Amino acid sequence: MSLRIVVSLATQRIDLLDDDTQIRSYRVSTAANGAGEQAGSYCTPRGRHRIRAKIGAGLPLGAVLRGRRPTGEICDDAAWRADPQRDWILTRILWLCGEERGFNRGGSVDTFRRYIYLHGTPDAVDLSHPGSRGCIRMRNADIVELFELVDAGTPVAIA
């Protein structure tokens, strides 16, 4: 198998491809500020990336991560309603690194140093439009499924 992930900013979808055959498709939410590579922009970076690290294996659905570590909290609807503006990072993290020096790798455009992830989000979050702070938000069940299907090093294209 030759798996790769394609993120469409226009359609707010992720496709998991094996060669050119789509094997999964997920609804997502990318950055409310749109596309961009600059640190501090809160934009979703474009271009060629790869999964640098997989974090959260075995955590329950809704497990809250802060600084890439589980806090022991579980985000349910009540927790989300109490703090809907919080940038909830839940369940699993697929941490991305850029592959294009000067565009999304190195200096002030480094995807990895910007902490750009594919990660779970509260189920109440609307994934029909861009709304994140740069990351790619997914339903918790979807990020678990994707996490189990891909390895560190899997290519990720964001366009």
Number of domains forming the structure of the chain: 1
Mean pLDDT of 3-13: 98
Question: Strands, E, within 56-135: which ranges?
Answer: 63-66, 69-74, 90-98, 117-121
CA 89, CA 66: separation in Å to the nearest integer?
7
User: Could you tell me which residues come within 8 angstroms of residue 68 by beta carbon, excluding any fewer than 6 positions away?
Assistant: 55, 93, 95
Over residues 105-125, the pLDDT tens digits come to 999 999 999 999 999 999 999
Share of the chain above pLDDT 70, in %: 99
* Cβ atoms 140, 127 nearer than 8 A: no
Cross-strand pairs, 69: 66
Q: What CATH number is attached to the domain comprising 16? A: 2.40.440.10
Task: Say what the pLDDT of residue 142 is.
Answer: 98
What is the pairing mode between strands 136-139 and 117-121? Answer: parallel
Q: Predicted confidence band at 159 (pLDDT cuts at 50, 70, 90)?
A: very high
Mean pLDDT of 41-62: 98
Amino acid in the structure at residue 7: V
Which residues constitute the domain of residue 14?
Answer: 3-158
Whole-model pTM: value is: 0.96
At 148, which helix (H) or strand (E)?
Answer: helix 140-149
